[in-house]
Amino acid sequence: MNIIDGKAISAAIRGEIAAEVAQMHQKPGLAVVIVGDDPASKVYVRNKHKACEDTGIYSEVHELSADTTQQELLALIDKLNADEKISGILVQLPLPKGLSEDEVIARIDPKKDVDAFSAINVGHIMLGDPIFLPCTPAGVMELLKRSGIEVKGKNCVVVGRSNIVGKPMAMLLLKADGTVTICHSKTRNLAEITAKADILIVAIGRAKFITADMVADGAIVIDVGMNRDENNKLCGDVDFDSVSEKASYITPVPGGVGPMTITMLLKNTIKAYKLQHGE
Ligand code: NDP
């Protein structure tokens, strides 16, 4: 069994990114907008800012209070859309109740939508011609690629159908010529389907939900989940201890998919800069 080391792969890609940014005349810029004081969101935003600093990407964080109005937030997006220093805009979700995430995402210039959440960018992903790759699924594809795993012709099962992970994940696997099945909470006989996967990707948000009996011998198992177990320890959606005995490759949590998401965001910020500068 091989453990896919997302931390090491992510560090290698960030090294490549830093080298590329160092060669650029002007620096790409990322604006991160956070509304309210959700502690988990604050940690994510801090990590994104630090990743930019470490790779030479300009970054600014806009911290708005929880009582910010929709109009104020939209006005900030308009300002960032027009700001030449800013190549990419990311609004940290979830937004406090009362604010419309859909309207805010739709307001971001599609050329600056580095999370690839807007209808235009989702449409491009669906057409098999993505402008920006969705960050977490792109991170998974990169982990597979850099581990020498080919997707073409493989039976790929994605558990979870969210707009952020499951659905775009399935599209990227399909684009890579995988045969893709998407499962969700209404799927019947889930274990029978997961047990047929050559590549099993799990993104459901249920601690240690996938157990060894649900996985084929030699399967490649990618765990996107981030949960707390009964001892408040970070863990994935896969029961790592038992499943790792059957899998040929497996990602740990932490240290698997997690570090890749921000790395792919950095790549998208560079892509956005190039798009806006006709490169
Ligand atoms: P959502 O809650 O938006 O979606 C969960 C999906 O899992 C839904 O499609 C749901 O089905 C499905 N599901 C829930 N329970 C079951 C079940 N018992 N059997 C089968 N399917 C089930 O979550 P996200 O996609 O946003 O996130 C999933 C996990 O990934 C979370 O742990 C999250 O923290 C983590 N995550 C990690 C990231 C990273 O960078 N590593 C980034 C983003 C998320 P239905 O649609 O029917 O309700």
| 83 among known catalytic residues | no
Say yes or no: CB of residue 29 within 6 Å of ligand 1. no
Q: Give the helix ranges, DSSP H, for the chain.
A: 6-23, 39-55, 70-82, 101-107, 119-126, 135-146, 166-175, 190-194, 240-243, 258-276
Long-range contacts: 65-73, Cβ < 8 Å, 24+?
65/35, 65/36, 66/35, 66/36, 66/37, 66/96, 68/35, 68/96, 68/99, 70/98, 70/99, 70/100, 70/103, 70/104, 73/33, 73/35, 73/99, 73/104
Q: Is the pLDDT of residue 279 over 90?
A: no
Ligand 1 center to 184 CA (angstroms): 9
The active-site residue out of 5, 109, 113, 115 is 115
Within 13 Å and on the Cβ side, how many CA atoms surround 120?
12
How confident is the prediction for the chain on average, in pLDDT?
97
Chain centre to alpha carbon of residue 22: 25
More confident residue, 278 or 233: 233
Residue nearest to atom 35 of ligand 1 (CA): 225
The pLDDT value given to residue 57? 98
Please choose from 135, 204, 265 the residue to mutate so as to test ligand 1's pocket, defined by most ligand atoms within 8 A of CB: 204
- Give the sign of the dihedral formed by CA 48, CA 52, CA 57, CA 63: positive
The active-site residue out of 48, 208, 267, 271 is 48
- Whole-number CA gyration radius for the chain: 19
Over the stretch 60-106, which tens digit does the pLDDT of each residue have?
Answer: 999 999 999 999 999 999 999 999 999 999 999 999 999 999 999 99
Domains of the chain: 25-109 (3.40.50.10860), 135-258 (3.40.50.720)
Ligand 1 center to 158 CA (angstroms): 11
187, 220 contact by CB (below 8 A): no
Residue 115's pLDDT band (boundaries 50, 70, 90)?
A: very high
Residue nearest to atom 42 of ligand 1 (CA): 136
**In one letter, which amino acid is 50?**
K
Say yes or no: CB of residue 236 within 6 Å of ligand 1. no
Distance CA 125, CA 127 (A): 5
Q: Is the pLDDT of residue 20 over 90?
A: yes
